[in-house]
Structure 1
Amino acid sequence: MRQLVLAFLALVLSCLSVTAQETAIQPLLQEHQAVIVKSSRKTIAPAIDAIANSGLPQAQQVLETWAAKNMWMRKSDGLFFIGEKGAGKTYDLTDFDTGETIGRYEKSELKQLKPNSGIRAMIGTALVQFQLSDPDRTKRQDALTSIQRDPEAALLQPLRASIAGESDPDLKAQKLRLERLLTIGYDPDTGARVAAISDMSGDLGVDVRATLNPLLVTTRMAALTLPEGVNIARTLTPGDDGFPKAEAYALLVETNRAPAIVTADDMRAALAANIDNGTVGGTPAALLNTEAARQSVYEVLAEAGKVPPLVSEADVEQALANHVFFDAYSEPSREVTNAAEDAMKDISLNVGINQTLDLTLDAMSLASIYFLAAIGLAITFGVMGVINMAHGEFIMMGAYTGYVVQQIIPDHTVSILVAIPLAFAVTFAAGVAMERLVIRWLYNRPLETLLATFGISIALQQIAKNIFGTQARPLTAPGWLDGAWVINDVVSISYIRIAIFFLALIFLGVFLFIMKRTRLGLETRAVTQNPRMASSMGINPGRVNMLTFGLGSGIAGIAGVAIGLFAKVTSELGSDYIVQSFMTVVVGGVGNIWGTLAGATMIGFLQKGIEWLNPSNTLAAQTYMIVFIIIFIQFRPRGIVALKGRAAGD
């Protein structure tokens, strides 16, 4: 009886020992000890996979410890532990299976595992399946990012398994999308792949196109007959369909289906290599001074098997006739490639529509910038008839005013709110001073006005350089204007551009209110239409001209603050916009705010359209635009919206 009890206890202990070994990860580490210690990227994959797929709860901790370079091997027995720095050159070792600290060891008794960046990347990929369901949201997000960066077939099932338990709506949406993409690329079920492609059809995401494009990659091939079981994209005829005969024969040569064509240089090299006592194939080398002689001797050498045979035109034609040429998909499933082609067509159409929308938004944004820069010039040039070449410098002064305000007021939102009215005041005063001191003496003398304002422009630029230097100064937008409104992967527009667009609309309304609802607007319109009659009615044309010029200059200053938020603030800032401002006013119609708006819209759309057709050369786009405008003015010299009165030359 006693012997039976002892035998039973031994059996129980044996089972417990087996169970402990089955739930311990140390035996698995010992099984791959040599590979782990060697730490070679070429051989480490089986060890990482074995740990990750072991199903043991310690697997995640082992991989994380290994990647963090905190895994140590005890040299005496080759066991692996978690190592933590102790006093001096000692380390405290913790067992992976029990979680107990087994003691403190000298560094000389241990070996630290230091995986390189490549191995750490492989470990990171293996950790993804654990991190997908980690309680920490950050780790789950990192796992999804890792899958996006390095998708693998092995990650599809863990990803699917983690979707049902995902509590975060954003992460769940990301997981569902990634599951569809990995299904397209790696699911063994053709029907599931086709269904996933159908689900993503028309999607504008770059990741979708990156997943579908490899399915449609083709390899150009040649064979005696069309092979069975190959997913053929198209058959090709040499000489047709952009498939030259030379390219077709080169493919045959490359695949060892035909001999290479012997060129004249090849022939000379072969003859030179076969010179023997001054003769080649029994012919003196001195006689090989013609193409026919060299070819004749080369054929003798070819018959003797010393050089490759010549390939005639008939040989080429016969070789091409004996073979079929085709492009074969790398993806073997015809159903998958058909679905991918249909999806890419839908995506291409959707991308084209959205690119048009994006181009339209860009054009509207550029038009609003030109309108904002030109609205002040529409007043000074359009209403008063003054060619103010210093208008760009008022824009520059406004931008520098914003910069100075930001140096005093660090809050960018408050500084911009202060800078806008202050820039108006500064440039309004500068415009009034310029009109009183210079412009008033040069009315109806356009050439002298142009030269005088051009000189003032140069002087203002030099003053700005003396004060602020030549280095670009930052004019920082408020934080709420950072970033862009992203509609999808194709269409987006920065918040600063949106703000400038609405600012342009505001100034359009302000200008219309001033011109239609205020005394200054009434007097300005009167002076514009008939200055003598306005003077006889008690209106002071000089005062009206002064205030009008100051108003146009003040608006230019506000435009400078807006433009400075996205453009570099330098003394040449105004020079970048003066030409477009004049073109906007002239094309739109001198003296009419609606004409200025139309001109800005036309130039903005025209420039963006030309840049889209010729994206690699923006200078050429500017040139084409100017040429177009010159031609346009020839047919409509008074602009899109013509105005009668002094500004129109009546």
Structure 2
Amino acid sequence: MPRALLPALALLLCLITAPLAALAQQTGLTAILQQYSDEVAKPGRQTVGDLIGALVGSGDPAVPAFLQAWADREVYQRESDGQFYYAKKDGDGFALTDVATGESAGTAPSGELDQIRPNGGVRRVIASALVQFQLSDPEISNRIAALDSIARSPSADQIEPLRASIETEEDPGVLARKKRLDGMLTASFGATPEARIAAIEALSSELSVDVRAVLNQILTSRSGVAETLPEGANIARELIPGEDLTEAEAYARLVSADLARPVQSREQIKAALTANIDGGAVVGVPVGQLGTEAGRERAYAALAEAGTVPPRVTEEDRETALASHVFYEEYTEADPAITAAAEDALKSVRTRVGMWQALDFGLDSLSLASIYFLAAIGLAITFGVMGVINMAHGEFIMMGAYTGYVVQQIIPDYTLSLIVALPLAFMITFAAGVAMERLVIRWLYHRPLETLLATFGISIALQQLAKNIFGTQARPLTSPHWLDGAWIINDVAGIANIRIAIFVLALVFLCLILFILNKTRIGLEVRAVTQNPGMAASMGINPDKINMLTFGLGSGIAGIAGIAIGLYAQVTSEMGANYIVQSFMTVVVGGVGNVWGTLAGAALIGILQKGIEWMNPSNTLAAQTYMILFIILFIQFRPKGIVALKGRAAGD
């Protein structure tokens, strides 16, 4: 190539690339802001769309930060040159930052800057545009925030950005949520009926509240009334006056649709008659005759015939109007295939939700039953073997809970403190139970009224002692970190980890007590004393010693129950009183002195209480009252409980 051509080619290349460079610069953030400067300075909800579209389509990495600052009203325009800056107060003026580069752009006095204040409608448009950037933001919190924003205000223009972000999403949880949100958006705003129906059918396997809300939104209907059902309308159902709505409501709909004349009330008739009194009469009807219903009707009919008032609507007129019109509900969605798919999907979702709600109810009932079992099993042993009505049983539960609290003050490791507190609570309450039996109970056998009064007095004394030592303020008994949270099965069913632990503890104690009673010598002696104390004594068993150990065992189990209960309930001096009534009900309903009976009683009361609370969740006191009434009725038909036991406790 001749050297003389090189300068010419270089000049030609500059002439070609210069316009392209200038064009590239014009598509940047700064150039777009200057091109739409009036719209940036005074944005409007209806006209800001072109500006937002240009900014999003520019691909400039500074656009997301500008949109956020614009929505937060941190963008200012300098009057001298019309340029836009970020500005923050700096002394008497403002420190400026370049919107494109983020670098400092000097300062300006406040008089030279105008703050851009987009209204609420514009800010919502900006927020929608920001979502497109946030969906692919490196920070997972920003992506989740974008999904929350879409869920709050879904629209058709969010489908494509959401689908584009699904391809690059790496987090499994966020990816699953994006796919579900894509399905919900497609169900509501899909491009074709086929796409919407497919998305709706896919949603039938979901359980979440937001999915149900989408399906209900598709099935939104409006009320209508006409002489015949409108052709081409997507009718949800036809309403029958007197069945689906009252006749008064139906006629009111006719009046509001200008299809019937309003019914005149007595007050309106009276006012019309009063306003048309002339010379002591109303159209020839003397005022004296207006005191009767017939007189008022005759006067009003005369006014209507003269055209002064509208004719009165009779019962026959109302019946005729109702019979000549149809009342219906019409889907806002025009396509019947889409609403049919939504109805089937919602029915499937509700069926599955009902099944999971039943499981959740069962888990709650099982959890409550395990708590009542732990609280009552010690009482069942003492009451069943010894026939002692121990009103201080709840205070042994309280002693166990306070033991756990004290151990946690000494051992800060919650797991280790729990391991230490469980056997320590058993030993302390076992010793307290033995002391109480030796000092008080042993002198009151076969005197139930005196035993009840004595243990009730001990209960009050132990409560006051706890108040003197620990005060009246509730004390925390903190569970280990591995018991925090809950086992969430899905959006409907779940159970707290601490309740699972209490259930496991109750199961362990069930197995342990069954082993002691059925596989050990002490258990054999306890059962012998329970069934026939005289015969047991003749066989060399010391009933007095068995009574002492049995009472101590029941008290020790109550102490362990106190730790379990204290992990989720407040530890106070009165906490035992909250469980003494339920414990006695559990023992009486299940059958005194029988482990299986106590288990059955705890299950029955747990299910019953949860069932009543489910039917009347706003009134816990009423639920407890109904439960007590049911128990009273139950023991009228089965006074010995579910699992009747023969022996001293049963009155044999």
Q: Does the alignment reach a TM-score above 0.5? A: yes
1:251 corresponds to which letter in structure 2?
Answer: R
Within 2, Cα distance between the matches of 1:357 and 1:195? Answer: 29
- What is aligned with 1:23? 27
**Is contact 1:95–1:101 with CA below 8 Å preserved after alignment?**
no
Asked if residue 66 in structure 1 is aligned to residue 70 in structure 2, the reply is: yes
Within a 5 Å distance, the mapping from 1:471-620 to structure 2 comes to: 471-620=473-622
1:308 corresponds to which letter in structure 2?
Answer: P
SS of 1:288's equivalent in the other structure is helix
SS of 1:473's equivalent in the other structure is coil
**Is contact 1:48–1:126 with CA below 8 Å preserved after alignment?**
no
Distance 1:357 1:45, change over 3 A: farther
- What is aligned with 2:166? 163
Q: CA deviation at 1:593?
A: 1.1
- What is aligned with 1:328? 330
Distance 1:230 1:45, change over 3 A: farther
**Is contact 1:376–1:556 with CA below 8 Å preserved after alignment?**
yes
**Is contact 1:85–1:92 with CA below 8 Å preserved after alignment?**
no
1:585-636 superposed Cα distances (whole Å, 9 cap, x missing partner): 1222221111111221122222223333343433333333333333332333
2:530 corresponds to which letter in structure 1?
Answer: T
Q: CA deviation at 1:294?
A: 2.4
**Is contact 1:86–1:92 with CA below 8 Å preserved after alignment?**
no
Asked if residue 232 in structure 1 is aligned to residue 235 in structure 2, the reply is: yes
**Is contact 1:190–1:336 with CA below 8 Å preserved after alignment?**
yes
Q: CA deviation at 1:200?
A: 1.2
Note the aligned Cα RMSD (angstroms). 2.8
2:455 corresponds to which letter in structure 1?
Answer: T
Within 2, Cα distance between the matches of 1:238 and 1:527? Answer: 72
Q: CA deviation at 1:118?
A: 6.9
Within 2, Cα distance between the matches of 1:617 and 1:588? Answer: 26
**Is contact 1:95–1:102 with CA below 8 Å preserved after alignment?**
no
**Is contact 2:390–2:451 with CA below 8 Å preserved after alignment?**
yes
Q: CA deviation at 1:86?
A: 5.8
Q: CA deviation at 1:317?
A: 2.6
Within 1, Cα distance between the matches of 2:56 and 2:311? Answer: 59
Q: CA deviation at 1:12?
A: 5.3
Within 2, Cα distance between the matches of 1:612 and 1:87? Answer: 62
**Residue from 103, 107, 111 that aligns with 1:104:** 107
**In terms of mean alpha carbon deviation, does 473-482 or 201-210 score higher?**
473-482
Within 2, Cα distance between the matches of 1:87 and 1:608? Answer: 64
- What is aligned with 2:190? 187
- What is aligned with 2:457? 455
**Is contact 2:222–2:330 with CA below 8 Å preserved after alignment?**
yes
**Is contact 1:201–1:347 with CA below 8 Å preserved after alignment?**
yes
SS of 2:107's equivalent in the other structure is strand
- What is aligned with 1:298? 300
**Residue from 74, 77, 94 that aligns with 2:98:** 94
Asked if residue 113 in structure 1 is aligned to residue 85 in structure 2, the reply is: no
Within 2, Cα distance between the matches of 1:48 and 1:22? Answer: 14
**Is contact 1:435–1:549 with CA below 8 Å preserved after alignment?**
yes
**Is contact 2:502–2:564 with CA below 8 Å preserved after alignment?**
yes
- What is aligned with 2:79? 75
Q: CA deviation at 1:438?
A: 0.4
Q: Give the TM-score of the pair, scaled to structure 1.
A: 0.91
- What is aligned with 1:378? 380
**In terms of mean alpha carbon deviation, does 156-165 or 552-561 score higher?**
156-165
**In terms of mean alpha carbon deviation, does 257-266 or 67-76 score higher?**
67-76
Distance 1:393 1:336, change over 3 A: same
SS of 2:398's equivalent in the other structure is helix
Within a 5 Å distance, the mapping from 1:438-453 to structure 2 comes to: 438-453=440-455
**Is contact 1:378–1:591 with CA below 8 Å preserved after alignment?**
yes
Within 2, Cα distance between the matches of 1:384 and 1:118? Answer: 76
Within a 5 Å distance, the mapping from 1:258-407 to structure 2 comes to: 258-275=260-277, 280-281=282-283, 283=285, 285-407=287-409
Q: Give the TM-score of the pair, scaled to structure 2.
A: 0.91
- What is aligned with 2:4? none
SS of 2:236's equivalent in the other structure is strand
**Is contact 1:587–1:599 with CA below 8 Å preserved after alignment?**
yes
Within a 5 Å distance, the mapping from 1:390-429 to structure 2 comes to: 390-429=392-431
Q: CA deviation at 1:16?
A: 4.3
1:227 corresponds to which letter in structure 2?
Answer: P
Q: CA deviation at 1:402?
A: 2.0
Fraction of identical pairs, as percent: 61
- What is aligned with 2:3? none
SS of 1:615's equivalent in the other structure is coil
**Is contact 1:48–1:123 with CA below 8 Å preserved after alignment?**
no
**Is contact 1:232–1:326 with CA below 8 Å preserved after alignment?**
yes
**In terms of mean alpha carbon deviation, does 198-207 or 175-184 score higher?**
198-207
Within a 5 Å distance, the mapping from 1:215-230 to structure 2 comes to: 215-230=218-233
- What is aligned with 2:216? 213
- Unaligned segments of structure 2, at least 5 residues: 1-7
1:479 corresponds to which letter in structure 2?
Answer: H
Q: CA deviation at 1:35?
A: 4.9
**Is contact 2:385–2:547 with CA below 8 Å preserved after alignment?**
no
**Is contact 2:590–2:600 with CA below 8 Å preserved after alignment?**
yes
- Unaligned segments of structure 1, at least 5 residues: none
2:584 corresponds to which letter in structure 1?
Answer: F
**Residue from 131, 137, 143 that aligns with 2:140:** 137
SS of 2:228's equivalent in the other structure is coil
How many residues align structurally? 644
